[in-house]
Structures are given as C-alpha cells and as structure tokens.
C-alpha cells in the first residue's frame, strides 16, 4: 500500500505541472496573437529627412608621395684636400652658408703668378705709349687745327645760305607787295571805268530830257524856267562825266606806277639771287680748301698704324694677363663651397682630410620651403584636372593638419602599364613640417554642381522602373516616387527630377512600405551642416 502511494503522488504532481504549463502556453500564445493584431493595425514607424538644396562637390582622392623640388649635389670645381666640413645629415643650412673649404695653397700660388704677369704686361704697354705720344701729339694737333678750319668754313657757308634765303624772302616779299598794288590799281581802274559809264549814261539821259523840255517850250506848253532847269542838269552831268574821266586817268597812271615798281622789285630780286650765288660759290670754295687741308693732315697719320698695332697687341697681352688673374681668383673662390639653396643636408659622402675631386659629390642638399606631391589619376579624372587647380593634402604622420597647394604639372601621356596620368602639386612649406619621402592623401575637386536638389544616399531605392524614393506627404501617406539622379557625393545624391526641395523622403523603415501606406514619422533628421539652403529656410 505504501509503495503504491509513493508512485502515485509523483505522477499526480507531474500531471498538475504539465497542465499548468500547457495553460500558460495557451495564454502566452493568445497574448502574442493580440500583439500581432495590434501591430498589423498600427502604421509602421519611419524616419524621414527633407530634400534640400546645396552644391554638389565631386572630388577625387589619391595617394601621393612628397619630394623636394630641389635635390642639389655639392661637389667642388677644383681638386683639393678638404680642410673644413662640419655639416651632417639632417642639418639645416641657409643659402650662402659655407659648407666646406679646400686647401687653397696651390691655387693661391697661381693667383700671385698671374698678378705678376699682369704687372709685366702693363710695364711693356707703358713704354710703348711713351714712344708713341710725342708723334701722335703733333699729328693730332695739326688735324685738330684743320678740323677747326673746316668747321669755320662750314659755318661761313651756312651763314651765307641763311642770309641768301633771308634776302630772297625779302625780295619775294617786295615782289608780292608790288603785285598786290598792281592788282589794287587794276581794281581801281575797273571801278572808275564803271563810274565813267554811269556818268555818260546820266549825261545822255539829261540831254534827252532837255531836248524834250525845249520842244515843249517852243510849242508854248511849259515855262522857260523848266528849260533852264533841264539845261542846268545837262551841265551838271557833263561835269560829273569830266570828273569820272579824270579819276579814270589817275587810276591808269597809278597802275603804270605800280607796274614800274613791280618790275624794279623783280630786277632787284634777280640781282640779289646772282649775288647770293656768287657768295655761296665763294663759301663752298673756302670749305673745299679747308677739307683738302684736313685730308692732307690726316694723310700724315700713315705712320701711326704700326704704333697702334703694337699698342693693341700690348693691351691684349694686359687683358689676357688680367683674365688669367680673374680665372685664378675664381679657382681660389671655388675652394670655398657655399649652399646654393636653403634646406637640409640629405647625405654626406666625405670627411675632412680626404681629397675632393670635381664631379664627386661630398654633400647633397634638399630644399623644403616648398614640397612637391606626385600622384596618379585615371583618364576620366585627368580630363577635369588643369594647371593651377587647388588641392588639399593630409599626411598620416601629421594627423589633424591639412595642407593647401595647387597643380603645377600634368603629364600629357599616361603610364602604359597602369593607364594613369601623373600629376604634380606644389605645397608651400614655410615651417618645414613636410619632408621628402612622406606619403599623403591628396584631394582635388573635379566638378561642382551648384544649387542641386539633394537627398541622402540611403533614401534612394531600386524599384521596378529604376531609382526611386519614398515620399511622405502631409497626410503621412507614403508614395513611391521615381527619380532621375545626377552627380553625387559620398553622403548625398542630386536629384534632377521627381523630388522638390522640402519633400520628406524616407531614410529608415522597419518594414517594406507599400504605395499609399499610412506611416508614423518617428524621427526627422535635419539636413547636413554643409547644406547651402534648406527648403523653406
């Protein structure tokens, strides 16, 4: 009996436990069904962002290596033992600093020997000039005297020519004045002839009037007084005609006088011209005589060429000796090696006491005031690169710093293996933060699209008809909107059609959205800080 109870009690307990668990599972399943039903009826939660207007800047990034524009190998021009050399790798040097000195003893002897040769050549030249000077002085004095006589003759000839022109001008003035007076006399004759004709017409008119009046008087129609008046008028007109005739005669006499004066002026001009020609011929003859004397004086200089050639040869010897001195001094200066640029010592291949020879570098300098960064770009990017374009560069060893420069060289041909074009940018490096051999990342702007309508890249989906976005309207209804995309950046894509500034596009959703679905906007992200303009802003 006790054994049966021992078996029964655990079985009953197990059954109760199983029944309890089954009931709990049924309750849990019912709760989950209710939750699913609530979820099916609740609009999905989405995150949206408004489409904005901003500039799309397309850039290309490449890895480049820094190098120095100047890599100068310092080697001497003369052979000698190095007496001084302190610069070592990494030392900073400035242009003009003394880097090394060679033993100048041998070159100094050459300088002194060349100076002695100059003194000897100058002595021989001075002796030759002492001999030449007296002979040359006599000849030169005679030539100068004859040259002075030629100048005096030329001055006399010029004076005669000037005076002759003045005389001719005066005589021409007299002739012109006389011709003018003749023309005036002709005009006066014309006026007086007109006056005579007018007086003759007046007299004829008065005579005709008198005849008519006298006939009427004889017929007894008018008084005797009218006849007397007409007769008096005839007398007056006759007197006017006489006066006009006298004035005409006077005008003709005046013209004859003017003609005589003109002829006298023309004769005087002819006489003056002949006198001027004689004076000019005499002055020219004196000039030819003086020139002949000058040529004779110069002919005496025939003995000078030998002296002059000797002097020229001695002067050439002096010049050659001085050139040897300059050459020797230049070689002496070459024993001191100075820095041609400011920069750093990259390598040193000799020590004091060793023999330096021309063409064998003892130091290598690199300039760092400016750094070149060389990088490669593909063919499609190379078309957008031009000289002078700005670039920015960053270097891993100088994190947090950005350097600006510009493109200074663009290889016109691509590398046959990589099909890449080599581009070089120059970056100013006044504080020498950049060093040759560093690797950096170069960024160059290849295109810029201003005022583009943009959406985040994660908002764009691929639909059946191509690219599309989901736009949420003011009623929180989702619409699948086909779009046409344009240039893009890493975070944004420009949209050329299908979306307007301010449209809310979905960037995050828990479930796929169907056309016309109602949604809940649970989060609205603002545009980037780099947005040029927000829609409605």
How much is the pLDDT for 373?
92
Top pLDDT among 51 and 182 is at 51
Q: What percent of the chain is modeled with pLDDT above 70?
A: 85
**Mean pLDDT of the 22-26 span:** 78
How much is the pLDDT for 425?
93
pLDDT higher than threshold 60 for residue 133 = no
CATH fold of 71-103+336-364 reads OB fold (Dihydrolipoamide Acetyltransferase, E2P) (2.40.50)
Q: Which of 138-142, 419-423, 477-481, 502-506 has the lowest mean pLDDT?
A: 138-142
**Mean pLDDT of the 24-48 span:** 73
| Cα 23 → chain centroid | 96
Question: What are the residues facing 59 on neighbouring strands?
Answer: 445
pLDDT higher than threshold 70 for residue 196 = yes
Beta strand pairing call for 98-102 and 71-74? unpaired
How much is the pLDDT for 421?
93
CATH fold of 108-302 reads Helix Hairpins (1.10.287)
pLDDT higher than threshold 70 for residue 395 = yes
Top pLDDT among 516 and 167 is at 516
Q: Is residue 181 classed as helix, strand or coil in its secondary structure?
A: helix
How much is the pLDDT for 426?
92
Residue 247 vs residues 250, 255, 467: alpha-carbon distances, Å: 5, 12, 120
What are the residue ranges spanned by the domains of the chain? 2-41, 46-54+450-524, 71-103+336-364, 108-302
Burial class (CB in 10 A: 0-12, 13-18, 19+), 220: exposed
Top pLDDT among 305 and 393 is at 393
Residue 442, Cβ neighbours under 10 Å: how many? 23
How much is the pLDDT for 532?
37
**Which CATH number does the domain 46-54+450-524 belong to among 2.60.40.10, 2.40.420.20, 3.40.190.100, 2.40.110.10?**
2.40.420.20
How much is the pLDDT for 528?
44
**Mean pLDDT of the 283-303 span:** 71
Q: What is the pLDDT of residues 203-226, one digit of tens each?
A: 888 888 888 888 888 887 788 787
Beta strand pairing call for 45-50 and 520-524? parallel
Residue 101: closest CA among 400, 429, 338: 338
Mean residue pLDDT across the chain:
80
Is residue 388 within 8 A of residue 424, CB to CB? The reply is no
Cα(429)–Cα(484) distance, rounded to whole angstroms? 45
How much is the pLDDT for 386?
87
**Mean pLDDT of the 23-30 span:** 76
How much is the pLDDT for 536?
32
Top pLDDT among 134 and 320 is at 320
Extract the tokens encoding 15. Answer: 């059954």
How much is the pLDDT for 406?
93
């Amino acid at each position: 009996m006790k054994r049966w109870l021992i078996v029964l009690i655990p079985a009953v307990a197990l059954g109760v436990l199983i029944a309890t668990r089954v009931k709990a599972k049924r309750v849990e399943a019912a709760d989950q069904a209710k939750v699913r039903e609530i979820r099916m009826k609740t609009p999905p939660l989405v995150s949206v962002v408004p489409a904005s207007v901003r500039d799309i800047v397309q850039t290309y990034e490449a890895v480049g290596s820094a190098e120095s524009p100047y890599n100068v190998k310092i080697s001497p021009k003369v052979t000698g033992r190095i007496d001084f050399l302190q610069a070592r790798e990494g030392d900073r040097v400035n242009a003009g600093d003394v880097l090394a000195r060679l033993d100048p003893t041998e070159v100094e002897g050459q300088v002194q020997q060349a100076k002695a040769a100059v003194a000897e050549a100058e002595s021989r030249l001075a002796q030759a000039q002492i001999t030449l000077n007296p002979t040359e002085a006599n000849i030169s004095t005679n030539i100068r005297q004859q040259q002075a006589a030629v100048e005096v003759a030329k001055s006399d000839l010029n004076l005669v020519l000037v005076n002759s022109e003045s005389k001719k001008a005066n005589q021409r003035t007299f002739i012109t004045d006389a011709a003018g007076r003749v023309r005036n006399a002709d005009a006066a004759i014309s006026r007086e002839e007109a006056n005579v004709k007018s007086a003759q017409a007046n007299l004829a008119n008065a005579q005709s009037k008198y005849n008519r009046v006298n006939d009427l008087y004889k017929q007894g129609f008018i008084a005797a007084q009218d006849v007397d008046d007409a007769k008096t008028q005839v007398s007056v007109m006759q007197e006017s005609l006489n006066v006009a005739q006298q004035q005409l005669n006077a005008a003709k006499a005046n013209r004859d006088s003017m003609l005589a004066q003109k002829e006298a002026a023309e004769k005087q001009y002819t006489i003056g011209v002949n006198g001027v020609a004689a004076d000019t011929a005499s002055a020219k003859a004196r000039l030819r005589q003086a020139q002949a004397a000058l040529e004779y004086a110069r002919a005496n200089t025939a003995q000078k060429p030998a002296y002059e050639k000797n002097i020229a040869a001695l002067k050439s010897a002096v010049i050659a000796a001085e050139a040897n001195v300059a050459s020797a001094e230049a070689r002496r200066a070459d024993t001191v090696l100075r820095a041609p640029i400011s920069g750093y010592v990259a390598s040193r291949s000799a020590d004091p006491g060793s023999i330096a020879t021309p063409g064998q570098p003892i130091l290598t300098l690199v300039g760092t005031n400016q750094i070149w960064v060389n990088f490669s770009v593909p063919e499609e990017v190379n078309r957008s690169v031009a000289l002078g374009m700005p670039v920015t560069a960053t270097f891993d060893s100088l994190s947090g710093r950005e350097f600006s420069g510009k493109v200074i060289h663009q290889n016109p041909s691509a590398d046959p293996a990589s099909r890449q074009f080599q581009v070089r940018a120059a970056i100013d490096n006044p504080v020498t933060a950049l060093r040759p051999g560093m690797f950096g990342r170069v960024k160059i702007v290849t295109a810029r699209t201003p005022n583009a309508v943009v959406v985040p890249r994660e908002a764009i989906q691929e639909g059946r008809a191509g690219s599309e976005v989901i736009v949420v309207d003011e009623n929180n209804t989702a619409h699948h909107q086909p779009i046409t995309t344009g240039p893009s950046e890493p975070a944004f894509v420009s949209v050329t059609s299908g979306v307007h500034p301010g449209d809310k596009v979905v960037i995050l959703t828990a479930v796929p959205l169907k056309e016309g679905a109602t949604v809940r906007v649970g989060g609205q992200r603002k545009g980037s800080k780099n947005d040029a303009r927000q829609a409605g802003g």
